[in-house]
Amino acid sequence: MSAGTPALSPAASVPAQVAAVRKVYASGRTRPVAWRKAQLKALMRMLSEREQEFAAALQADLGKNALEAYLTEISITRAEAAHALKHLADWTRTTRVPVPLGLQPASAKVEPQPLGVVLIIAPWNYPVQLLLAPLIGALAAGNAAVLKPSELAPATSAAIARILPEYLDPEAVVVIEGAQEVSQALLAERFDHIFYTGGERVGKIVMRAAAEHLTPVSLELGGKSPAVVLDGNLTSIARRLAYGKLINAGQTCVAPDYVLVTEEAAPKLLRALAKVMREFVGKDPSRSANYGRIVNEGHFDRLTGYLADGTVVSGGRSSREDLYIEPTVLADVPLDAPVMQEEIFGPILPVVTVRDLDQAMEIINARPVPLASYLFTSSASQQRRFEQGVRAGSVNHNAAIVQLAVPELPFGGAGASGMGAYHGKHSFDTFSQARPVFSKGTLLDTLRVAYPPYNGFKGRI
Ligand code: NAD
């Protein structure tokens, strides 16, 4: 830039930045498997060497405990990269397929191809994992990528923008920080795939913008993930629910949003929930190093509004100044109360009693399709009925959230909770085209039999 030339605003510089990434992709640099492997290894090294910096940023943005940050952001992402690295040779392999007799001699094969330049837009709640896990799939498949971290986790966004270029190819993987204006400038560009994680409202904006360029999208959205409790060790069930609900102070897309419990099990479950929450974060969770904070005032106000939607069984205290909301269990909640209509995304757990599994499934299926569903019972037949009767991004028995740590399981929503899935090979497939290649020689003109005029065919078909 010459002296006196005004600097472009972040949004105004987007077209040139995207064009530069496209040029790198067009040069073929990202296609060799060696380049992909080098990127994945560098990403793993970055997560190990710079873990402290990411942990400090996550603490600043969300009050995330260092161990929680390690487990849910660093190690899970590194495991995803290690899995991709281990299986890359297999995933990138060309598959020969048989050719029908009438077309022979010929050969046919399917070759996974990168899509091109992909855009990854991430949210604030797991701002490292939800930006880098899709990137792993994009790199494994040989794409160049533009990354847009969330402005609502500013320390993490800045850390990523600073650290990533030190490890990854800085011309093929570009981080563009910013809020809505930058996002919209990005969405005006043509990409070969857009991978968006976040809420439904913006999901629709992304899909509308993508339609303009006929760009395929993955939408990783949220929803009210139900947990149904029928029977079992209620203390252990309460621990699993509380773990899923309290991690990241409830700001987890697959957190159990609400509980449907049989009238019989309800009193014991409510007591157990109060007890295990104290066990996890102490009598005064505001002093606990194991308990996070709400991301901003807007979400704090929305969440504290829910506290009046039922009877507070445990918890209920909050401090706006500290963005703190005590883990809270609500009972006597009407099904039409806002806390039972909107995704909670915070440490408030409404518990609603039901007659049986049928009534629970009716309540679940009357709502938009959730990202995850959880059933707690030891009955295999009830488990099968739940699997068959409920529509959700995933079905999980007797555990919550930990399903995310299985790299072979596709992670994604259905209906209102999103479209497309990733993790492991599913990420590779999301960012690849399964391209068919058919080839034949010209020496023997064996296709002549199918050419017009068709008179010769009569009677033969
Ligand atoms: P957010 O506000 O951080 O938004 C996500 C991204 O969209 C950000 O990068 C933001 O800059 C961008 N954005 C915001 N407004 C925009 C606009 N008008 N145009 C274009 N881009 C825009 O995150 P959020 O939406 O508050 O995230 C919470 C939601 O995400 C919850 O519903 C949660 O369930 C869901 N979620 C889903 C998953 C999943 O994996 N399925 C994971 C985490 C969160």
Please give the distance of CA 82 from its chain centroid, rounded to a whole number. 18
Residue of 72, 125, 258, 302 with the most ligand 1 atoms within 8 Å of its CB, for mutation: 125
Which of helix, strand or coil describes residue 355? coil
- Per-chain mean pLDDT for the chain: 95
Mean pLDDT of 383-399: 98
Is 175 in a helix, a strand, or coil? strand
Tokens in use for 451? 């050419």
**Quick one: pLDDT at residue 1?**
41
pLDDT tens digits for range 138-193: 999 999 999 999 999 999 999 999 999 999 999 999 999 999 999 999 999 999 99
Determine the Cα–Cα distance for residues 57 and 64; give it in Å rounded to an integer.
9
Q: How far apart are CA 364 and CA 228, in angstroms?
A: 10
Here the tokens at position 445 are 């003109």
E-state strands within 154-204: 173-175, 193-197
Q: How sure is the predictor about 2, in pLDDT bands with cuts at 50, 70 and 90? A: very low
Ligand 1 touching residue 285 (CB < 6 A)? no
pLDDT of residue 407: 86
Q: Is residue 151 within 6 Å of ligand 1 at its C-beta?
A: yes
**Count helices and strands in the chain by DSSP H and E runs:** 15, 18
On whether the CB atoms of residues 355 and 260 are closer than 8 A, the answer is: no
- Output 302-305 pairs: Cβ under 8 A, ≥24 positions apart: 302/346, 303/344, 303/345, 303/346, 303/347, 303/348, 305/338
Q: Which two tokens stand for residue 73?
A: 């952001």
Amino acid at the residue 70: Y
297: nearest Cα among 275, 332, 324: 324
Percentage of residues of the chain with pLDDT beyond 70: 97
Beta carbon of 225 within 6 Å of any ligand 1 atom: no
Q: What pLDDT was estimated at residue 459? A: 52
| Alpha carbons within 13 A on the beta-carbon side of 420 | 22
What is the three-class DSSP state of 337?
A: coil
Q: What is the mean pLDDT of residues 83-103?
A: 96
Of 220, 264, 297, 342, which is the active-site residue?
220
202 lines ligand 1 (CB under 6 A): yes
Confidence check: pLDDT of 269 > 90: yes
pLDDT greater than 90 at residue 341 = yes
220 counts as catalytic = yes
Give the dihedral sign, CA 91/395/349/313. negative
Per-residue confidence (pLDDT) for residue 5, from 0 to 100: 60
What residues does 352 pair with on adjacent strands? 260
Distance 182 CA to ligand 1 centre (A): 14
Centre of ligand 1 to C-alpha 344, Å, is: 14
Considering the chain, what percentage of its residues have pLDDT values greater than 90? 93
Torsion angle of C-alpha atoms 260, 265, 270, 276, degrees rounded to 10: -100
Give the integer Cα–Cα distance in Å for 193 and 214. 9
State whether the beta carbon of 304 lies less than 6 angstroms from ligand 1.
no
pLDDT, position 457: 58
Closest CA to 127 of 163, 91, 103, 97: 163
Tell me: pLDDT of 4 over 60.
no
Q: Which residues, 6 or more positions from 2, have their beta carbon under 8 angstroms from its beta carbon?
A: none
Judged by DSSP in three states, 432 sits in strand
Please say if the pLDDT value at position 444 is more than 90.
Answer: no
In this structure, are strands 395-397 and 258-262 parallel, antiparallel, or unpaired?
unpaired
Look up the ipTM and state it.
0.95
Which atom of ligand 1 is nearest the CA belonging to 223?
A: 34
- Each residue of 352-381: pLDDT tens digit? 999 999 999 999 999 999 999 999 999 999
Residue 34 is inside which H or E element, if any? helix 33-49
CB of 121 sitting under 6 A from ligand 1: yes
